[in-house]
Structure 1
Amino acid sequence: MIKLHDIDHVALGVEDLDASAHSWQVEFGLAERERTPTESFLACNYEPYSLVLRRTNNPGAIHTAYNLDPEFSLADAEKHLKDHGVLYTRSENAVEFLDPEGNGVHLVPYRPRDGANAFPVTSRRTDSLRQAGPRRLGHVNYLTADLPTMVDFYTTVVGQEVTDYLGDDAGVFLRIGGDHHVNAFVNTGTPHFHHVAFDLIDFGQIRSSFDHLAQHGRWFPWGPVRHGIGGNLAGYVRLPEAECFVELYCDMEQIDRTHLPRTFPDDRRSSNVWGMLPPRSYFRFDKETVDAERESLRSIWD
C-alpha cells in the first residue's frame, strides 16, 4: 500500500495573479519564493512553497499535493495507481490524477530534512520571511456529494487513514501523521473545495491575524470556534477570488498509532463546543450569497 509523509502544497486558480499574490503576502504573511508570468509560489516558512497561485479564467482549487513517504518513489506511485485502475499523468516532479469528484491530486517526492532544513525554525536566519505568518500548511477540506466513494478513494488510492466519523454519514476526517486530519469530507450533496487551513502558533496569533485581516476588508463567516471533532481553535476567512475559505487554526488534537476511529454525534457540540453552528452561507459559494454575507444584507443564518 502506498504511504504518504505529509501534505505538500495547494494550488488555487485566480483571475488577478498580482492582486492575489500581494494579498497572500501582505494579509496572510506568506513569502513569495518565485514568480512566473502565470504562477506565484508562496511559503509559510523555510519550505520551497506551500501555496501555488495560477492565473486562470476559472478561479478555484486546482489540486492538492502530498509528499510521498521516503520509501516510495514516483515510479512506485505510478505502479500503485495502475494497480487501482486510476488514470494519471507523470510530470518531471509529480504524479497527477483526479479523484472521483474531479479534484486534482498530486503525489510528489519526499523532501529530505537535511542541511539547514534539519534545524528548528527559530534557530535559523532569514531576510525574506514576514512577521507573524503561519507556521505551516495544515490541511484541506472538501464538500462532497458521495461520501463513501471519496473516503474509499482517499484511503485505498491516496493512502490516508480515517481518524474519525461525524454522525452516520455527515462527514469523515482523515490523517497522514499525528495531526487529527490532513483532509476531511463533509456530506452536503454538492461537491466543492471548501477550505485550505494554516497552522498558527496559538490563539493570540489567531486574534492578531483576524485584526489584521479585518483592516484589509476581509470578513469571517464563522469563528472563533473550538471544534469538538479535531479539538482545534479556528476561524474561517472568506476568499471570494478563489471560491473557498481560509482556516487559521491552532491546538489540533494529536493522534498516535494506537488510535481507533471514533464516531462523533452530528450536533452542535461536535462542530463548536463554544456555541453556534456555522451559518448556511458557510457552505455556499455563489455570488449572491457571498455579496449578502459581505454586506449582511440578509440573515446568513437562514
Structure 2
Amino acid sequence: MIKLHDIDHVLMGVEDLDASTHQWEDEFGLTQVGREGRQSLLACNYENPSLILQQAAKPGIIHAAYQLAPGFSLDEAEKHLKEHRVQYTRSEAGVTFADLEGNGIQFVEYRPKQGQDKFPREWRQTTRNHRIGAPRRLGHVNYLTGDIHRQVDFYLNVVGMKLADKLGANAGAFLHIGADHHVMAFVNTGDAHFHHIAFDMLDWGQIRQSFDHLAQYGRVMPWGPVRHGIGGNLAGYVRLPEGDCFIELYCDMEQLDATHEPREYPDDRHSSNVWGLLPPRSYFRFDKESIEAERESLQSIWEKQPALLGD
C-alpha cells in the first residue's frame, strides 16, 4: 500500500512565463524562488515551491503532485503502480501518471524540513522579500468528474488517499492524507474538468484583504463568502480564466483525528454553505458565455439567466 505525506505542488501551463510569474506575485502574493528553463517556481512562504508555472502552448493544470511518506521511495511507488497496471513515466522530478479521466498526478520524494524550516513561520528570520498577505501554504485541489465512484476508488487504492466524507451517495467526495479535512475533492457534475486550486490563509481578515486587492485587478469572485458545511472552512472563490480554473482562498479547515470515520452529508444547500446561497451555475462551467454572465452577474437577473446559461 502506497503511503503519502502531503500535497507538494501544482504544475500549471501558461502562455507567457514572465507575465504569469509577475501576475501570481502581484495578485496572489506568491514569491518566485527559482527559475529552471521553461519553469518558474513560486512559493507561498518558506516552504518548497507550491506552484510551478511552465511555458506551454495550452494553458491549464498539468498535474497535482504529492509527497511520498518518509521512507517510501520512488522505486516503491513504481512497483505499486505496476501492480495496479497504471502507465507512468519516471524522471528526476518524480513518477508521473494520470487518473481515469486524464488528470495528471505526480509522486515526489519526501523532503524533510531543515534549518529554520523546522520552526514556526513567525519565529524565523529572513532577508528574502516575502510578500505581505501571502497564503500560508497550498492546501488542496478540486475536480469535477463524470464517474465519481471509479475516480474515488482510484484515489483510494492507487494514489493512496483516505475518504474523509461524502456529499450524498453520489454528489461529491472529499479525500484526505493527514489531519486537514481534505487534500482533494470531487464534485459529480457529469463532466470531467479541473476545478480549483486552494490556498490556506491565516484568517478571514486576510481573505477579505486579499479579495479587496484582487478586485483592483479586475478579478471576479462568483461565490463567497461561504462557510462550507463539509470541511467547515471559510472560503471565497475567484475565477482564473487564463488557467481554466478557479482559485479558492480559505481558512479554518476542520481537522480530523486518527479515529475519524467517513460521514455522508445530505446533498443540500446547508452542506455546501451553512450561511446561505449555493454557487451560481457558472461556477461549474468554463465556457465563454458563462464566464461573461458571471462577470456581469447576469446569473442574478432571472430574465437573462436561462438564455445565457443554456437552459
- Shorter-chain TM-score range: over 0.9
Counterpart position of 1:174: 175
2:221 and 2:199 mapped to 1: Cα distance? 15
1:158 and 1:35 mapped to 2: Cα distance? 29
Q: CA deviation at 1:37?
A: 4.9
Counterpart position of 1:189: 190
Counterpart position of 2:89: 89
1:77 and 1:181 mapped to 2: Cα distance? 22
Cα deviation digits, residues 186-216 of structure 1 (max 9, x gap): 0000000000000001011011111011111
CA contact (8 A) 2:280 2:299 kept: no
1:18 and 1:131 mapped to 2: Cα distance? 21
* AA in 2 matched with 1:270: S
CA contact (8 A) 2:135 2:201 kept: yes
Give 3-state SS (helix, strand or coil) of 2:28's partner: coil
Equivalent pairs counted in the alignment come to 302
Counterpart position of 1:64: 64
Q: CA deviation at 1:125?
A: 1.8
Q: CA deviation at 1:119?
A: 1.4
Cα deviation digits, residues 141-194 of structure 1 (max 9, x gap): 000000011000000000000000000100000000000000000000000000
1:224 and 1:69 mapped to 2: Cα distance? 35
* AA in 1 matched with 2:88: Y
* AA in 1 matched with 2:207: I
1:130 and 1:165 mapped to 2: Cα distance? 37
* AA in 1 matched with 2:241: P
Counterpart position of 1:218: 219
Q: Does 1:264 align with 2:276?
A: no
Mapping of residues 1-302 of structure 1, within 5 Å: 1-126=1-126, 127-297=128-298, 299=300
Give 3-state SS (helix, strand or coil) of 2:8's partner: strand
Length-normalised TM-score, structure 2: 0.95
Cα deviation digits, residues 205-254 of structure 1 (max 9, x gap): 01111101111111100000000000000000000000000000000000
Q: CA deviation at 1:36?
A: 4.1
Cα deviation digits, residues 242-288 of structure 1 (max 9, x gap): 00000000000000010000000000000000000000000001122
2:299 and 2:2 mapped to 1: Cα distance? 48
* AA in 1 matched with 2:230: I
Give 3-state SS (helix, strand or coil) of 1:27's partner: helix
Q: CA deviation at 1:21?
A: 1.1
Q: CA deviation at 1:15?
A: 1.6
1:298 and 1:4 mapped to 2: Cα distance? 41
Give 3-state SS (helix, strand or coil) of 1:211's partner: helix
Give 3-state SS (helix, strand or coil) of 2:286's partner: coil
* AA in 2 matched with 1:295: E
CA contact (8 A) 2:5 2:67 kept: yes
Q: CA deviation at 1:95?
A: 0.5
* AA in 2 matched with 1:38: R
2:171 and 2:297 mapped to 1: Cα distance? 28
Quickly say closer, same or farther: Cα 1:298–1:266, change in 2 above 3 A.
closer
Give 3-state SS (helix, strand or coil) of 2:212's partner: helix
Extract unaligned runs of 5+ from structure 1: none
Cα deviation digits, residues 53-94 of structure 1 (max 9, x gap): 112221111000000000200011011101111111100130
Extract unaligned runs of 5+ from structure 2: 307-311
* AA in 2 matched with 1:227: H
* AA in 2 matched with 1:196: I
Quickly say closer, same or farther: Cα 1:93–1:14, change in 2 above 3 A.
closer
1:15 and 1:281 mapped to 2: Cα distance? 24
1:18 and 1:124 mapped to 2: Cα distance? 30
Length-normalised TM-score, structure 1: 0.97
Q: CA deviation at 1:14?
A: 1.6
Quickly say closer, same or farther: Cα 1:131–1:194, change in 2 above 3 A.
same
Quickly say closer, same or farther: Cα 1:235–1:298, change in 2 above 3 A.
closer
Aligned-CA RMSD value: 1.2
* AA in 2 matched with 1:175: H
2:208 and 2:48 mapped to 1: Cα distance? 27
2:161 and 2:36 mapped to 1: Cα distance? 32
* AA in 2 matched with 1:183: M
Q: CA deviation at 1:113?
A: 1.7
Q: CA deviation at 1:298?
A: 5.2
